[in-house]
Amino acid sequence: MATKIRLQAPIGMHDILPETQPFFRKVYAVANSIAQFYGFKKIDTPIVEDADLFSKGIGLGTDIIEKEMYAFRSKGGDFLALRPEFTAGMARAYIEHGMVNLPQPQKLYSYGPLFRMERPQAGRFRQFHQVDLEVFGEQDSVIDAQIIQIFYNILKELKFKNLIVEINSIGDRNCRPYYKKMLVNYFRSRESSLCSDCRRRLRYNPLRILDCKEEKCQPIKAQAPQLVDHLCEECKTHFKEVLEFLDEVEMPYRLNPYLVRGLDYYTKTVFEIYEDSEEGQKLGALVGGGRFDNLVKMLGGRDTPACGGAAGVERIVATLKERIKQENTAPVSVQKVFLAQLSDLAKRKSLRLFEEFRKAKIQIAESFGKDSLKTQLRLADKMGADYALILGQKEALEEAIIIRDMKTGRQETVKLDKIVKEMGKYLKK
Ligand code: AMP
């Protein structure tokens, strides 16, 4: 018996419908232009990688690996995973292609889909998209500040207002183990008051207790020792310098001692960027990132300091859409000209004329399947066309065509062999 296919996208995954495409295009266009301005080069890594790459890089005790990774064994017996983030794949590519031998730093960027089996909720999907930037081979604190500045500029260019950067330092392998021990001792003596997730985190990932959102854990968290007070000299200086650079470019930031982020590979700087409003807090961070000086070595490469971040495209697009709704401004139509035809002869001539517009790179729309002029003009209006070209039986016989200004209704007849050139002039006006 044939099984019935469920005619719905998988839970937490969505079609990006035609009306949403311009928003995604806009985000990618802005990201491309700003990333390239700052000297980043585009790279695409596979959507599927060895599962071990992520469990080794991101860490076994993290939510992403423990609960959220789409991992599977292929028919050939390989243990693979859909990428839950970009950084580990980028680091793998950096090692695999010997980029360590190229002039350092190597600045790479990418965008595309990622997969995490999270509980679907507002701003959180199982397939989502990020714009990701990584700098490999530079330990200077100026890079941390620059990464933050670039993401901030991308959001500014997309007309985000009231942005706020939250920033913290989570130390390195010199100072973090000592702090971790202190933290574990502190939480262990209060274990029975922690939520069940945090009791588990206490064993696998105690730093994550600091960003627990459970009401119950808040008072305990508030009294916990803070990492910034226990940084080693090197991390302290690095953090101070990052903040000074941010001051220099007048970046609005606030220190958040509870910001630890979910992944094991971070060292020193961690940051997130939010829209500083109730709505923005609800939606969650637009951008997150930090320094990861140990990752390349952990994956088998040479000791390579690195820093990067990722912006969530769906969250950005949701805000752009909301803004358009509030301002009641439709995205600008690219269909400025519509070709309407009446009669068989006109339809045949229209087909050829359409090709001439394509060669002249003038965007033009049509609805050749419709025969009523009224229907075609209504469609032109809906598309937001500035001009309709009307080719009726009479015009087709006389080798002419009518240009109709859709706003004023004014019409002018021109020779058919002049229309492409004429429209070019009209559109330049
Ligand atoms: P992360 O890779 O977790 O540091 O996330 C970086 C950014 O990606 C976040 O600030 C969000 O904007 C976005 N993001 C992360 N997870 C999701 C998700 N499940 N659905 C949609 N966006 C996400």
pLDDT of residue 158: 96
pLDDT of residue 200: 87
pLDDT of residue 331: 54
pLDDT of residue 1: 60
What mean pLDDT is predicted for residues 133-155? 98
Residue 308: which of 23, 24, 57 has the closest Cα? 57
Cα(386) to ligand 1 centroid in Å equals 40
- pLDDT greater than 60 at residue 133: yes
pLDDT of residue 186: 94
Residue 384 per-residue DSSP state: T
- The CATH architecture to which 337-428 belongs is 3-Layer(aba) Sandwich (3.40)
For the ranges 182-186, 224-228, 312-316, the maximum mean pLDDT occurs at 312-316
Confirm whether 21-175+231-325 and 337-428 share one CATH topology.
no
pLDDT digits (tens, 9 = 90+) for 235-288: 999 999 999 999 999 999 999 998 988 777 889 999 999 998 888 888 889 999
Taking the domains of the chain in order of start, what are their residue ranges?
A: 21-175+231-325, 337-428
Query: In the chain, how many H helices and how many E strands?
Result: 16, 16
Which residue of 158, 270, 313, 314 sits with most ligand 1 atoms within 8 Å of its CB, as the best mutation to test the pocket?
A: 314
Task: Give dist(CA 360, CA 198) in Å, integer.
Answer: 63
Residue whose Cα lies nearest atom 21 of ligand 1: it is: 124
pTM for the model: 0.88
The reply, when asked if residue 62 is annotated as ligand binding, is no
pLDDT of residue 334: 61
Helices (H), 360-386: 373-383
Cα(312) to ligand 1 centroid in Å equals 5
Which residue of 128, 211, 264, 316 sits with most ligand 1 atoms within 8 Å of its CB, as the best mutation to test the pocket?
A: 128
- Give me 284's structure tokens: 């969650």
Q: Which residues contact 279 (CB under 8 A, 6 or more apart)?
A: 322
pLDDT of residue 6: 81
Q: What is the CATH number of domain 21-175+231-325?
A: 3.30.930.10
The letter for the amino acid at 319 is: T
Percent share of the chain, pLDDT over 90: 77
What mean pLDDT is predicted for residues 386-401? 96
Distances (CA, A) of 377 to 124, 404, 426, 427: 42, 10, 19, 19
> Residue 305 — very low, low, confident or very high, per pLDDT cuts 50/70/90?
very high
